[in-house]
Structure 1
Amino acid sequence: MKRVSIVEVAKQAGVSVSTVSLVLRQKGKISAATIARVHEAMSALGYVHNVAAANLRANTSNLIGLIVPDFSDSFAVKVMASIVQELERQHYMVFLRQPQDEGDALERCLLSFKQQGVAGVIYLASDVTAALLPEKIRRCPLPLVVVSQSLQQDGCNLVMRDNRQAASQATRYLIERGHRNIAYIGGTENDRIRQQRLLGFSSALAQYGMTLRETLTPACAESTQAASLVTRHLLENNNTITALLCHSPNAMIGSISAIYQVGRTPGKDVFLTQQVALLGFEDMLHVNLTSPSFTYVSSASEETGRQAAALILRKLSEPDLPPQRITLSGQLVVRESA
């Protein structure tokens, strides 16, 4: 099949070749009627715009590399969807990669981005125990934006969750509802998200003249069984506990099991001593089919994606922009469990 040229489109639409070029690049002040006429001509002739070739000629690119190491992370998946949606709205395309490690696989990923001529890179950090980015990412020569749930020490363009604020907000809410014995369930000892949330937990308790008791903050492996075991042990030895902050969906599910095992029930009424309030840190849609529905502090995943997309585009238009740090706070969503 013969390839339709831009000259033929211009002739069909009755406009100049430069006008067709401006319409394709969405540049210049072209009337809506002319734009419609050009698009009608392209459709009638079957013209397909070769974006890659156009970018090569103009020495520009509308391709953004997106690295998502962990697709099992619900926060990362939601952020990814938001990034793609926002970049597509700005007429950019996404080249998605999932390297299997932070060494050779990540290096090959970055090399493929360079070979494909991507304009910039967004990296969704997944290691919640690391204080620094992988070396390959730190040395990335392309404009870079990092999205993280826990990173705090790298001097890069960074969009991250405010875990301390989330835990402080959740704790204040529980205290204001009358809870005085609150525990934090889950997360491993070296989990930086857990560490940051415990700082927020402690600071909120201090505002009300209360102190953090380490015996009420058991760490555990990231599984429902591990969370259930530590929660049951905690409740059996501290029958005055009336509320649990749950580190993750697994911690929430495990805690529910343990609550029933010790003869108590999930619920928000602090005056009914058999009830234990549960509060999580993200919208667990796959869990909220149960009763009660869970109260949580949102992860701000959609806004995180929008901010990351906006920041990489700003970095492309302002190459000398100093490193930006955007910290996003979640919103408390009150439901039945607390």
Structure 2
Amino acid sequence: MKKVSIIDVAKHAGVSVSTVSLVLRQKGKISEATIGKVNAAITTLGYVHNVAAANLRANTSNLIGLILRDFSDSFSIKVMASIVQELEKQGYMVFLGQPLNDGEHLERTLLSFKQQGVAGVIYLASDTRAASLPEHIRHCPLPLVAVSQSLLEEKCNLVMRDNRQAANLAARYLIERGHRNIAYIGGRDGCRIREQRLLGFRSAMTQNGLVWREEYSPACTDDTQAAAMATRQLLEKNNTITALLCHSPDAMIGSISGIHQVGRTVGKDVFLTQQVALIGFEDMLHVNLTSPSLTYVSSASEETGRQAAGLMIRRLKEPDLQTQRITLSGQLIVRESA
């Protein structure tokens, strides 16, 4: 069967080849009637537009490379989905790469992007201990937008979460409700997300004339069992604690177990001394079938994705655009646990 060409579409629609090309590229001032005729001809003939070939001829690309290292991280997955959705709305497509390391695998991914003719790269950082981007990303010759959950000391187009604001917001809410002995559970030593949140937590305590205690912020590995043990040990030594900030969803689930192990319950009533209030820092909808439902500071994952996609598009349209650093604040979602 003969392959349908743009010439065949033009003949069938009764218009010029250049008009069909403009309709396909959504360029120029073409009447709705003409657009309708061209689209009808495309459907009737079964014409398939070769976008890659068109981009090659025009020396342009609607393909964006997206690098995601950690598919187990719920925040990164939500950001990725938001990026893809926003780029597709603007006529771009995503080429996904998942390098196994920051060395040769990342280098091969970037080479593959170059071979595919991507216009730019969005990098979802996964190392919460690193203060800078991997070397291959820093020297990426293509337009780059980085997305990070923690503060990066890089001069690059960056979209990141404001962890300090999130913890400050959560702590102030608890203090306003009457809590005076508040602790932070979870996060490994050296985790920059944890460090930034502790700064926000400490700031809220100090601003309200409360004493900051280092022993009220035990670090632990990112699993429910470790968080449960850390919570139990903390509450056994300090039975005056009435509220916990939980580093991650696993830390929150583990904390619930630890609270029950010492004979206390989860709840927001500060005057019932057996209750412990809990606040998390991720969208906790997937565990809100529990009772009580969980209070949290949203991760702003969808907005992060939209901002990253928008910044990439602006960067492509304005090559001389100054480097931008976008910091997104979380919103407190009050439910039953605090």
TM-score, length of structure 2 as denominator length: 0.99
CA–CA distance in 2 between the matches of 1:320 and 1:169? 37
CA–CA distance in 1 between the matches of 2:275 and 2:197? 24
CA–CA distance in 2 between the matches of 1:203 and 1:216? 15
* Corresponding residue SS for 1:122: strand
TM-superposed deviation, 1:151: 3.2
Residues 71-110 of structure 1 correspond to what in structure 2 (within 5 A)? 71-110=71-110
* Structure 2 residue aligned with 1:121: 121
TM-superposed deviation, 1:285: 2.6
- Which whole-Å deviations, capped at 9, do the CAs of 1:164-201 have from their partners, x for residues lacking one? 00000000000001111000000011000000000000
* Structure 2 residue aligned with 1:280: 280
TM-superposed deviation, 1:130: 0.3
* Structure 1 residue aligned with 2:199: 199
* Structure 1 residue aligned with 2:257: 257
CA–CA distance in 1 between the matches of 2:282 and 2:39? 44
Question: Structure 1 stretches (4+) deviating beyond 6 angstroms?
Answer: none
Amino acid in the other structure paired with 1:318? E
TM-superposed deviation, 1:222: 0.8
Does the 8 Å CA contact 2:133/2:152 hold for their aligned counterparts?
no
Amino acid in the other structure paired with 2:22? L
Amino acid in the other structure paired with 1:156? C
* Structure 1 residue aligned with 2:45: 45
For structure 2, list consecutive stretches of 5 or more residues without a partner in the other structure. Answer: none
* Structure 1 residue aligned with 2:58: 58
* Corresponding residue SS for 2:285: coil
TM-score, length of structure 1 as denominator length: 0.99
CA–CA distance in 2 between the matches of 1:151 and 1:271? 37
* Structure 1 residue aligned with 2:317: 317
TM-superposed deviation, 1:224: 0.7
* Corresponding residue SS for 1:286: helix
Aligned length: 338
CA–CA distance in 1 between the matches of 2:193 and 2:57? 45
CA–CA distance in 2 between the matches of 1:32 and 1:295? 50
TM-superposed deviation, 1:25: 0.4
CA–CA distance in 2 between the matches of 1:280 and 1:89? 32
* Corresponding residue SS for 1:121: strand
TM-superposed deviation, 1:284: 2.1
TM-superposed deviation, 1:206: 1.3
For structure 1, list consecutive stretches of 5 or more residues without a partner in the other structure. Answer: none
Residues 1-338 of structure 1 correspond to what in structure 2 (within 5 A)? 1-338=1-338
TM-superposed deviation, 1:11: 1.4
* Corresponding residue SS for 2:121: strand
CA–CA distance in 1 between the matches of 2:14 and 2:301? 47
Amino acid in the other structure paired with 1:265? T
CA–CA distance in 2 between the matches of 1:100 and 1:110? 13
- Which whole-Å deviations, capped at 9, do the CAs of 1:6-48 have from their partners, x for residues lacking one? 1111111122111110110011111222212211110000000
Amino acid in the other structure paired with 1:304? T
